[in-house]
Chain A
Amino acid sequence: MKEALVILRDINAGYHSEAVLSDVNLEVYPDDFMGIIGPNGGGKTTLVKVILGLLPPFSGSVSFPRGKPAIGYLPQVSQIDKSFPITVKDLVNSGLKSRNNWFPQLTAGQRKQLHQMLDEAGLSAIASRPIGDLSGGQLQKALLCRALINRPGLLILDEPDTHVDKAFEQELYSWLRELNQEMAILLVSHDIGTISPLVKTIACVNGQLHYHPSNQLSEEVLKVYNCPVDLIAHGPIPHRVLKSHDHA
């Protein structure tokens, strides 16, 4: 039996004593590629914040049996202030470990890491541009570089497919598939239709969490999970018969 990367046990969490998540259990393994879906306000981002340690849960525990891995985090792009005067270079650099990352001048090692990362993403040409000049796709790419530059064991992406065009979305997904060879990925999305062929497993979050050990979901199952997500817009979803769950 392989050892989990992250284990969540009986998590109750929320804001100002108002619970958003209740009795959530989840295990994330090193080769996981998990889609986290659910309606707005269902607690997807809250779950991410608990895993990241940004939001201490009311009760329950978050543990890292293999020791705390480096975590790469891509927040929702709406949280980013695009008018802030920061360059792509400095943005990506902010994903490096904070130790020795203080002074304006970078060390030779940090510069090398930075250039490798920017090359890999094809952002070298715009490294000195302020983020306000970037397209939606370029900004997502730069934010993803910031999440990846530390070579994380776990990558958490919160709605990476908003404000980007279809071409970038395809590029992003093939990149993620490649990255999954090296790291576990948690992908938060409200758009099950597009991520379904990409992810290996699915967690439905709507107050509670239902883990689904496959990437194929039908509308009936979503109903059983109490997880109203729109399936229709993306054509037929492969159907699979599932055993029933006791929560309704």
Chain B
Amino acid sequence: MLTGPFPTGYLNRTTMRDLLLVFEYQFFQNAVMAAILTSIIAAMVGTYVVSRKIVFIAGGVTHASFGGIGMAYFFGINPFLGAAVFAVLSSTGIEWISGRGKVREDSAIAILWSLGMALGIIFVFMTPGYTPNLLSFLFGNILSVGRSELYLLGAFCLVTIAVFAVFFRPILYTAFDPEFAKVMGIRVAFFRYLMSVVIALAIVFSIRSLGIILVLSIFTLPQITAMLFTRNFAFIMPLASLWGITGSLSGLLASYIMDIPAAASIIFFLTLQFLLIRLIVTLRMLMLRKLSQKPVKG
């Protein structure tokens, strides 16, 4: 096991041996695990988010959590605890507002979005001295994920899988047609709130690796990539996990080779992957259409 400093490898200096060497570093192994676990969590939760077309809500919750981070710095508690509290409160709050139908939901989300950021900035400003890792909350720092954080991430990943496995159908049916689900006796409000808590926590767990500004893409890009192949809710989740993992691992590796920030590189590769697959799918469809249009020779 190597413990030396992270070798800054530029493209022209990198050999295959260098590339494989990096996997022997503990911090890189941790980063790979974090990328895989975050991809699985975001794939499942993101499938729900994209299907219900509530990406904007997820964005609001993400940014509102910055208020919690700032407050936690000010009071000297764990920033992730602060983020989790703010995320859960804003997520369930939006659910509550949308259930009452008296306030315009999109305006309420915009207010939470910017208010969270404002509170975060104010509290960070008022905190005396140096605020460590502040930038890593905004842009993520997957290379500094520790063992204990990995265990937490793994535990939450298991919880998310369990929630979707046990409540698969009520979750799907309330997402698709809440009114009908209510007629069928499903406890719609319970599942809506359960999911808003799961969404909030999934976002906070992903912020650790990808940062507030970049996190939304891992909740949407793997899903829309998966939806190029299937429009079956149950199949989108595993397929999005796969695309999340391939995209984030290639992003991670590229960040090492080219010495660029990991989170940004991951997002770039998730997007590139989507565009490439989209292109292939479209070309294949055009080819099939051309083949079927060819006149049959008699």
CB–CB A101/B179 < 8 A: no
Most buried by B among A97, A99, A101: A101
Q: Does B242 contact A (CB under 8 A)?
A: no
Q: Does B170 contact A (CB under 8 A)?
A: yes
Tell me the dominant secondary structure on chain A's binding face: loop
**Distance in Å from the Cβ of B113 to the closest Cβ of chain A?**
24
Chain A residues lying within 8 Å of B176, measured Cβ to Cβ, are 81, 84, 86, 91, 94
Chain A residues lying within 8 Å of B179, measured Cβ to Cβ, are 54, 75, 79
CB–CB A90/B183 < 8 A: no
Q: Does B166 contact A (CB under 8 A)?
A: yes
CB–CB A54/B172 < 8 A: no
Most buried by B among A16, A71, A97, A102: A102
Q: How far is the CA of A47 from the CA of B68 in the complex (A)?
A: 45
CB–CB B166/A54 < 8 A: no
Stretch at the interface among B1-9, B142-150, B225-233: B225-233
Q: When each residue 100-112 of chain B gets 1 if its CB lies under 8 Å from chain A and 0 otherwise, what string results?
A: 0110000000000
CB–CB B236/A103 < 8 A: no
Residues 36-67 of B at the A interface (beta carbon under 8 Å)? 47, 51, 53
CB–CB A87/B169 < 8 A: no
Chain B residues lying within 8 Å of A133, measured Cβ to Cβ, are 231
B: number of interface residues (CB 8 Å): 31
CB–CB A104/B51 < 8 A: no
A: number of interface residues (CB 8 Å): 32
Q: When each residue 120-163 of chain A gets 1 if its CB lies under 8 Å from chain B and 0 otherwise, what string results?
A: 00000000101011000000000000100000000000000000
- Closest residue of chain B to A99 (Cβ to Cβ) is B185
Chain A residues lying within 8 Å of B232, measured Cβ to Cβ, are 85-87, 90, 128, 130
Q: Does A73 contact B (CB under 8 A)?
A: yes
Contact partner, B180, options A130, A132, A146, Cβ 8 Å: A146
CB–CB B51/A93 < 8 A: no
Chain A residues lying within 8 Å of B180, measured Cβ to Cβ, are 73, 75, 94-95, 146
A94-B169, A102-B170, A104-B169 as given contacts; A130 in contact with B231, CB under 8 Å? yes
Q: List 24 A-B contacts (CB under 8 A).
A: A54-B183, A75-B177, A79-B177, A80-B177, A84-B51, A84-B176, A85-B230, A85-B233, A85-B236, A86-B176, A94-B169, A95-B180, A98-B184, A101-B170, A102-B166, A102-B167, A102-B168, A102-B169, A103-B168, A104-B169, A104-B234, A132-B231, A133-B231, A146-B180
Q: Which residues of A contact B (CB under 8 A)?
A: 16, 52-54, 71, 73, 75, 79-81, 84-87, 90-91, 93-99, 101-104, 128, 130, 132-133, 146
8 further A-B pairs in the complex, CB-CB below 8 A; given A93-B169, A99-B185, A104-B169: A54-B183, A73-B180, A73-B183, A81-B53, A85-B233, A90-B172, A94-B184, A104-B165
